[in-house]
Amino acid sequence: MKRRDFLGSLGAVGTTGMLSTPALLSSASRAFAQGNDIPVGLLFSLTGAVAVVESTLHDAALMAIEEINAAGGVHGRQLRPIIEDPASDPATYADRARRLMIRDKCVSVFGSYTSASRQAVLPVTEQRKNLYWYPTLYEGRECSRNVMYGGAVPNQQQDDLIPWAIENFGPRFYMIGNNYVYPKEENNYCKTLLEQYGGEVVNEEYVPLGHSDFSSVINRIRAEKPDVIFATVVGDSDVAFARQYHAAELDPSKMPVVSLTRSEVEVKAIGGEAAAGHFSSAPYFMGHATPENEKFVEAYKSRYGGDQVTHFVSEAAYFQVYQFKAALEKLDPANITPETIRDAAVGLRLNAPQGEILVDENLHTHLWPKIGQWQANGQAEVLVESKERIAPKPYAAYEGQTCTGQGLVKA
């Protein structure tokens, strides 16, 4: 079933489920009422600048809901997705989140890609004592008891990557990122690892979001001759940078781009030839060989088209719905609230497409870091995979601060 088929007079029509009681929250303190289905919010942009990515997260979450409903739902009840399009605008995310939690009485909301959108929704979620399921890798330094964090934090992407890059290419790093919080925090953590492993930063540069002319950056890279380009440019900027880097005939075997943000979506836009030879660090790649991933990829292509790709954020958008389902199954249908769902989710293990994941007491997720090298066919060959799940440490760069099951603790 396609996304548009769900749109109705209230913004959506249901089709996937997973719980026995409707779990309706009419105020921050009331319990959830009985009913025939469970409304949950989907808050992904279907229009605007980030729609190219967020629409794939929407599709993955919706597919998980469809699968759960087709299998009978949870406690015999269906999950009804209420769809809102925040149109890539942070203020609209907050407004639509409020609508989903108050008017539509959603027991949880799944949504968003950027840190700006998550931070816009956070005060609303905390005020309403609701639960926001956020699938995206992010910069850490957050410890809300009202957000379920499905994506990687810096230590989960960099702890294996940085020493590997130094060993294989050399210690001199050129940092290029967009000018906002995520790249700066990732670079901050990278610097601690470079100091630990004997690396150095030869240049650190930030460009505006949406920046598309990298000629001067590439000229500086050519002049500096770093060993590694450590990239946190995102979206259209990453596509432009990769194409221009390739056009400049810079050799990835000698001076590769090592990215925390480049996924199958960006590589599809870049073109396999221009992306080939460079690297990404992520907990999931589309070509990962597990039965769960083969099922996920096959189902996604069947629903949305054979030319579509899955990636490390759409995978998390998918598995978070199943984490939600597993938490609901642990609860008495008469006692379902965002708080009880949150508490039931802690400690849950789930066989996700990337491997068996675990929800930490700090509401972040234990993941399986991988280093992949992009091939001309648009897929990544996984060269390095962690031998064990890596625990999330959202304050790894900040000594004396720890995100715990009780919130942020400072030594």
Burial 382-393 (b: 16+ CB within 10 A, else e): bebbbeebbebb
Whether residue 32 lies inside any domain: the answer is no
144 found inside a domain: yes
216 and 120 in a common domain: no
Token representation of residue 378: 């648009």
CB-based burial of residue 252 (10 Å sphere; 0-12 exposed, 13-18 middle, 19+ buried)? buried
347 shares a domain with 273: no
Total count of domains within the chain: 2
Does 395 fall in a domain? no
Q: Is residue 344 part of a domain?
A: yes
Q: What whole-number distance in Å separates Cα of residue 5 and Cα of residue 83?
A: 11
pLDDT tens for the chain, 411 residues: list them: 443 333 333 333 333 333 322 232 333 334 443 468 899 999 999 998 888 899 999 999 999 999 999 999 998 999 999 999 999 999 999 999 999 999 999 999 999 999 999 999 999 999 999 999 999 999 999 999 999 999 999 999 999 999 999 999 999 999 999 999 999 999 999 999 999 999 999 999 999 988 999 999 999 999 999 999 999 999 889 999 999 999 999 999 999 999 999 999 999 999 999 999 999 999 999 999 999 999 999 999 999 999 999 999 999 999 999 999 999 999 998 888 999 999 999 999 999 999 999 999 999 999 999 999 999 999 999 999 999 999 999 999 999 999 999 999 998
Q: What global pTM score does this model have? A: 0.90
pLDDT of residue 14: 34
Domain boundary among 234, 249, 282: 282
Check whether residue 187 and residue 70 sit in a common domain.
Answer: no
CATH number at residue 185: 3.40.50.2300
In a domain, 140, yes or no: yes
Tell me whether residue 168 is in a domain: yes
Rounded CA-CA distance 171/407 in Å is: 36
Rg (CA), the chain: 21
Do 108 and 54 share a structural domain? Answer: yes
- Clarify whether residues 75 and 113 are in a common domain: yes
Question: Quick one: tokens of 6?
Answer: 């769900």
The range of the structural domain enclosing residue 330 comes to 37-151+284-368
Residue 133 identity? W
Reading the block at residue 35, the tokens are 């009913």
In this structure, the answer to whether residues 300 and 265 fall within a common structural domain is no
Determine, yes or no, domain membership for 248: yes
Q: Could you tell me if residue 23 is inside a domain?
A: no
Rounded to whole angstroms, the Cα distance separating 358 from 361 reads 10
Residue-level pLDDT at 31: 41
Instruction: Answer with the one of 263, 282, 301 that is the final residue of a domain.
Output: 282
Does 348 lie in the same domain as 311?
yes
